[in-house]
Amino acid sequence: MDYNRIHRVTFIPIDIDGNKIGEPIVVESPLTLEFNIIREPFSEAASASLGLYNLNPETRSQLFYDFLDMENIRQVDVEAGYIDGKFDLIYRGRVDHAFVEKKNVDVILRVESIAGLAVFDPNLNITIEAGKKLEDVVPNIVGEMKSVKAGTISLPDYTFQRPVTLSGNPQNILKQYTKGDCFEDVGVLNVLDMDQILEGDIFKIDEETGLLGVPQKQRTTITVNCMFEPRIKVGQGIEIESRIAPEFNGQYKVYGVRHSGIIGDAVAGQCITTIQLITGMAVFGRNGAKWNLPDGQKTTNIKDEQPQQS
């Protein structure tokens, strides 16, 4: 199997509110998956373009989907990893449309998907008593988002001074009371300040552990390419160490993640993860900033838990 990579794509029938209403259809290795996934939740919506090669005709027929068909809504989960490792969820969204095309001898089911829109479906309408703290109210707000679960929630110390009625989209309400630092990534809702990162270890990436090319800076972000790394999450901390461009060495917060490539036996291809980093926490050069990590949280070489590639 190409580079020991494996995948699993699961199509789940859901209703308009995101509730599961039928049995899933699973497509997995060794069948070939071509993918281009963009996760930039701060821009509200992530997307995925998938190509599933040479499915049997019955499965292709089941997965064909017209975007006007509101009675057969499907959630799509894309998981990937390495043999002897575990799957990581690299995308969750709703199928926008799916169609079939032929390329040489291959018959390919093309699937286009949008994510991040499910949180706009529900409508909240609750009244908050005076004296209530924001931390006491947030569980009720998040609970109205049926398609997401709570992740790292870091809230400002805010107390409602008078009775307030919260009405409208739950995520928009959260943004109003959290300075806009509220986002969804692969079905997880997080609230972080700009100088905060997700709980968990910080991955270190260098030339020996998969860093490809040279980090590139554009305005307030740095773009880094590395070998396919399905564990990267938006909002986590990453440490970069480049021999070619040491001016960019330091720790940064992940702003966006893109995965692209091909996984499968029949069609060989390279897989790349592109990471967009926020430069606000870093002072370039030898004074590169680092987070003061809580007890038990550390910087981890990115390949420490990754099975050896062949």
Q: pLDDT (tens digit, 9 = 90+) per residue, 51-103?
A: 999 999 999 999 998 877 777 889 999 999 988 778 999 999 999 999 999 99
Domain presence at residue 308: no
State the residue for tokens 């980090």: 215
Mean pLDDT for 155-173 is 87
Residue-level pLDDT at 291 = 56
Task: Please tell me whether residues 209 and 270 are part of one structural domain.
Answer: yes
**Alpha-carbon distance values, 131 to 137, 158, 163 (Å):** 11, 10, 8
Task: Please tell me whether residues 35 and 108 are part of one structural domain.
Answer: yes
Task: Please tell me whether residues 227 and 150 are part of one structural domain.
Answer: no
Beta bridge partners of 169: none
- Rounded CA gap, 78 and 73, in Å? 16
pTM, to two decimals: 0.86
- Rounded CA gap, 247 and 116, in Å? 35
Task: Please tell me whether residues 24 and 103 are part of one structural domain.
Answer: yes
Q: With contact defined as beta carbons under 8 Å apart, do 279 and 220 qualify?
A: yes
- Is 307 a residue whose pLDDT tops 80? no
- Coil/strand/helix, residue 253: strand
- Is 175 a residue whose pLDDT tops 70? yes
- Rounded CA gap, 5 and 84, in Å? 10
Domain boundary among the residues 71, 90, 118 is at 118
Domain boundary among the residues 172, 191, 210 is at 191
Domain boundary among the residues 53, 83, 118 is at 118
Non-local (6+) Cβ contacts of 176 within 8 A are none
Q: With contact defined as beta carbons under 8 Å apart, do 56 and 39 qualify?
A: no
Quote the Cα angle for 228-271-206, to 5°: 40
Note down the domain range covering 104.
2-118
- Coil/strand/helix, residue 138: helix
Task: Please tell me whether residues 177 and 221 are part of one structural domain.
Answer: no
Task: Please tell me whether residues 181 and 218 are part of one structural domain.
Answer: no
Picking from 254, 17, 13, the residue whose alpha carbon sits closest to that of residue 146 is 17
**Alpha-carbon distance values, 165 to 58, 137, 143, 246 (Å):** 51, 12, 17, 52
